[in-house]
Amino acid sequence: MSRALVVGSGPNGLAAAIALLQGGLEVEVREAAGWVGGGLHSAELTLPGFAHDVCASVLPLGLGSPFFRTLDLDVEWVHPDAPAAHPLDDGSAVVLERGLDETASGLGSDGSAYRRLVEPLVEGWDELAPALLGRVPPPPRRGLRAARAAGLRGFAAAARTALGDARSVAESLFETDRAQAWFAGHCAHSMLPLERRPSAGVGLALAVLGHAVGWPLARGGSQSLADALAGRVRELGGSIVLIDLDGLKRINDTEGHEEGDRAIWTVATAIKKLVRGNDHVIRWGGDEFLVILPGMDEELARKRFYMLPSKIDEVKQSPKPGGRPYTKFLAASVGIHIYSKRVAVDVAIAQADRVMYERKRAHRELRSPAGEKTQ
Ligand SMILES: Cc1cc2nc3c(=O)[nH]c(=O)nc-3n(C[C@H](O)[C@H](O)[C@H](O)COP(=O)(O)OP(=O)(O)OC[C@H]3O[C@@H](n4cnc5c(N)ncnc54)[C@H](O)[C@@H]3O)c2cc1C
């Protein structure tokens, strides 16, 4: 099976991971930050319980992207009364309303020019979106459908505008300072100088999205979209590792519980050296640990977790403050199995358990060639 490594867990990375998993590939997502989501991250920046979007906050494409729509994610979208308002120096504001009529009337004498440009795109949005947000360049049939939906003249005008710079488009399209400033405000989201192409395209897209989709926020913060996407990646696959600390009962019985606790601490600290930020480590009974590695295939999980003995040795040699290692011989057995939509987590745990006991038995036989039972 082909394997893909996705670098970064922003919305594009997670969407790519889902598409690759859906395509049957084994996928691992690597994230450098201590959280998933990239630009969708939300954090408690002020008071406990108050989530703030650190970067992206209004997510028209979170709702309007044809790919995201197919995922039917568990995100509650909240629409403000009006998508956006651009305040002006005289204390008034020009408002992007959901309705095209209301927006055009707020633009006064520039309303009809705005309507001429935007209306064909709003009406043809369902056909335009797959062409604009899909493969580049779009397949010819999809491109043709999009052009037909917006009308050839409307499509050509929109394409010219989209490729232009904000200043030239605003000045040629609108007469009033109010409309020009309002359009420039949308274009500024491109983070390009307003004289640079294609800043006008970003402004145009945001205005069209305001009417066709709205500018929704995700309830609970943009992180909830990231979490829903990451949840879908996890649902679609990953690896389960079951780790059994060998001989813990003997250590507890013969050397005392303090030594037993040191043995547990040593193995847990070694496991921590092998996991990534988004993995889950669970104490699974007295002498077992369960590790869930979302998006990691079995081969990679094996490569990583078969290094556990050497990590245990590292911990023994250089313990971190906060714990004293168990210094005598210490071994742990590892069993790994994948989980996915088709292999439920409990089935994967049972399989990992079986693999772990087979490996434990094989190691025992190796250590005791005469076949004598060891504890
Ligand atoms: C200030 C600001 C406000 C914005 N507001 C909005 C908004 O309101 N609405 C909107 O739709 N868009 C907004 N955007 C744009 C939006 O944030 C981005 O388009 C979106 O986040 C891009 O997603 P991405 O997956 O491509 O990359 P990112 O979201 O940037 O994610 C990239 C991820 O990759 C990780 N990474 C990078 N290098 C490595 C590496 N070598 N190894 C492992 N991990 C790595 C990063 O830690 C990060 O988590 C805003 C952008 C900014 C900067």
Can you give the pLDDT at residue 340? 72
Determine which residue's CA is closest to atom 7 belonging to ligand 1. Answer: 56
Intervals of CATH 3.30.70.270 along the chain:
238-367
Q: Is the pLDDT of residue 11 over 90?
A: yes
Cβ(137)–Cβ(130) below 8 Å = no
Beta strands (DSSP E) in 194-252 are: 217-218, 238-245
Question: Which tokens belong to 38?
Answer: 């990239």
Site of tokens 């040191």: 262
Residue nearest to atom 14 of ligand 1 (CA): 56
Contact 293, 238 (CB under 8 A): yes
Total Cβ atoms within 10 A of residue 297: 19
Give 25-78 pLDDT, tens digit per residue. 778 888 999 899 999 999 999 999 999 999 999 999 999 998 998 888 999 999
- Per-residue model confidence (pLDDT) at position 62: 95
Q: Residue with structure tokens 């394997």? A: 3
Name the pLDDT band for 235 (thresholds 50, 70, 90): confident
Split at pLDDT 50, 70, 90, the class of 367 is: low
Q: In terms of Cα–Cα distance, which of 197, 194, 175 is closest to 113? A: 175
- Nearest C-alpha neighbor of 290 from the set 343, 354, 349: 349
Distance 8 CA to ligand 1 centre (A): 9
Residue in 39, 366, 33, 80 with CA at minimum distance from that of residue 229: 39
CA of 156 to the centre of ligand 1 (A): 31
Count of positions (residues) in the chain = 375
Q: What residues have CB less than 8 Å from 335, skipping those under 6 apart?
A: 241, 242, 243, 244, 351, 352, 353, 354, 355, 356, 357, 358, 359
Distance separating alpha carbons of residues 349 and 280, to the nearest angstrom: 14
3-state secondary structure of 263: helix
Summarize the confidence of residues 265-288 as an average pLDDT: 89
Residue 280: which residues within 8 A CB-CB, separation 6 or more? Answer: 291, 292
Give the integer Cα–Cα distance in Å for 54 and 223. 9
More confident call, 215 vs 149: 215
3-state secondary structure of 201: helix
Q: Tokens for 245, please give them.
A: 């600390």
Reading the block at residue 319, the tokens are 């313990």
Torsions phi, psi for 318 (to 5 deg): -135, 75
Q: Is the pLDDT of residue 172 over 50?
A: yes
Q: Which residues have a Cβ under 8 Å from the Cβ of 362 and sit 6 or more positions away?
A: none
| pLDDT band (50, 70, 90) for residue 371 | very low
Q: What percent of the chain has pLDDT over 90?
A: 59
Q: What distance in Å separates the CA atoms of residue 210 and residue 103, rounded to the nearest whole number? A: 10
Mutation probe of ligand 1 site: the residue of 5, 14, 31, 57 with most atoms within 8 A of C-beta: 31
- Is residue 107 within 8 A of residue 180, CB to CB? The reply is no
How far, in Å, is the centroid of ligand 1 from the Cα of 38? 5
CATH architecture group of domain 238-367? 2-Layer Sandwich (3.30)
> Would you call 16 helix, strand, or coil by DSSP?
helix
Residue 54 in contact with ligand 1 by CB distance below 6 A: no
Residue 332 is classified by DSSP as E
The pLDDT, as a whole number, for residue 372 is 44
Q: 19-23, 63-67, 92-96, 99-103: which has the minimum mean pLDDT?
A: 19-23
